[in-house]
Copies of this chain bind each other. A is one copy, B any other.
Amino acid sequence: MVKKIEHHNRSGCPVACALDIIGDHWTLLIIRDLMFLGRHEYKDMLNAEEGISSNILTDRLKKLECNELVCAIPHPQSGRRKLYYLTSTGKDLIHVMIHMARWSDKHLNDLVKIPPKKRDVLVKNPEKMIQSTLEQLAAWEKKFLTGTKTCV
């Protein structure tokens, strides 16, 4: 079902290669939902405040699966719902995400709204934020992925 995809692959530059996969307006917001906001279902991401449209969401989830940043399993309590989650490749984007958030907080402070507590950790102790985020994800995985055949 999930195949390798043909990226554009504009060059061998690592920045260009990354952008061929995550360099659009929506992909990293989906990663954010999965990484920080505990949104593991289609409808959760569809209802995110940025207002992604359903065709784009479907398309991006498909591409993320093709590129093996995201994986999905059927919801244990429901035959039609799915649970999406980050693979280790996807989770490894956490450093990019954290530094992007720090950059925004520093330079776009009139636009950015972060709860003060989170902001404090983000600014003063990003490593701690990375650790606790990864722990949360691990806890979710323990709850939902144990005993099933899963992608890593």
Which residue numbers of A lie inside 8 Å of B, CB to CB? 7, 9-21, 23-25, 28-29, 32, 49-51, 89, 92-93, 95-97, 99-108, 111-114
Contacts and interface: CB of A to CB of B under 8 A. Distances in A.
Interface SS of chain A: helix
A75 to B, nearest CB: 26
Contact of A100 (B18, B51, B107, B114): B18
Contacts of A17: 104, 108, 111-112
A103 B93 contact: yes
B32 A100 contact: no
A50 to B, nearest CB: 4
Nearest to A36: B15
B50 A10 contact: yes
